[in-house]
Amino acid sequence: MAKPFWFMLISTFSLSLTAALAKVLGGSIPITGLISLRFFAPALLAFGIMAAIRWETPKWEAVPALALRGFWLICTQACLFFAIMNLPLAEAVLFFSTGPLFIPLVERILFTRPLPGAVFLGVLLGFLGVLILLTVESLRFEPYTLVGLAAGLFSALSQVTFHGISKGSLSPVAQMAWSFPVAVAFSVLLWPLDAGSSAPLQPWDWPWLLVALLAVLTLNTQVFRSRALRAADHTSNIAPLIYTTPVFTYLWQYLWFDEPLSITGVLGAVLVVCGGIISLRAKARTVETAATH
């Protein structure tokens, strides 16, 4: 249990730092360019690693799933980055973390899968937390809260899509290498959103070392999460650790950003996290029980 535990913590720690770093880079790089770099830089790194260690090419039957995953990834990250730039960091990441709450609903709608009582309870509790968060003064009537929730929904769609290819023969690095270029291609469609706006800095003045760090953190997030899930005896034991991401993010918000926390916001966050954990554990146990029969 020790290895999966630490692998998952490394993944969530890297994800929280990615979000904080994105908020920092948003002051130097236009947001649409930053979204493209969020996928382009890790894709280059992933291809470089494959070239140095072992080259992997996806089978033709996996290509549509990889392409669809790339599409959902750009939808997810575009919404997340716009939310990060316009909302308090921790709240933006928390709305993104509603992904596990949307997964049972997406599976119910798309695949008519049953919704066990414990999973439904977790989903209900989590969205009650979202409603409480929306009463916080800084978030009330803020349209970017819907953008943050859309990131959670797209994350759910991405994970449901990814489930099929994650069981295949491609390594986590290869999965990133072949799905991220699709995300980069779709990200070009966002560039007109920055048309006419003055860039904070010219490209040659961008903090490229921080962009490289963003690539490494992105790679860390994906690879260590995959290793944690593969090494775990039961995913229900480690899946709830996904919710250490908003915990870490609240720490970065307190240490690095002048964004206050409210008691109401913390209460809403606790309900979202508790609801997500209940839903994840119940869903994982349902899958494990079905697999043993």
Instruction: Walk along the chain (293 residues) in steps of 10 and give the mean pLDDT of each run.
Output: 80 93 89 91 93 90 86 93 91 89 86 82 89 75 87 87 62 88 92 66 77 91 81 66 87 81 81 85 66 54
Place of tokens 């609801």: 275
> What is the H or E stretch that residue 249 is in?
helix 244-256
Backbone angles phi, psi at 131, to 5 degrees: -60, -40
8 A C-beta contact, residue 124 and residue 59:
no
Q: Could you tell me the pTM of the whole model?
A: 0.87
If one counts the domains in the chain, the total is: 1
C-alpha 151/C-alpha 73 separation (Å) is 9
Helix (H, G, I), strand (E, B) or coil at 192: helix
C-alpha 63/C-alpha 56 separation (Å) is 13
C-alpha 240/C-alpha 272 separation (Å) is 12
Question: For the chain, how many helices (H) and strands (E)?
Answer: 12, 0
Residues sharing a CB contact under 8 Å with residue 186, sequence separation 6 or more, in sequence order = 70, 71, 74
- What is the reported pLDDT for 3? 79
- What is the reported pLDDT for 43? 93
DSSP 293: -
Closest by CA to 154, choosing from 248, 205, 82, is: 82
Q: Which domain holds residue 179?
A: 2-291
- Pick left, alpha or beta for residue 197 (phi over 0 → left; psi -120 to 50 → alpha; otherwise beta): beta
Rounded to 5 degrees, what angle do the CA atoms 85, 68, 175 make? Answer: 85
Rounded to 5 degrees, what angle do the CA atoms 195, 199, 200 make? Answer: 155
The one-letter amino acid code at 253 reads: Q
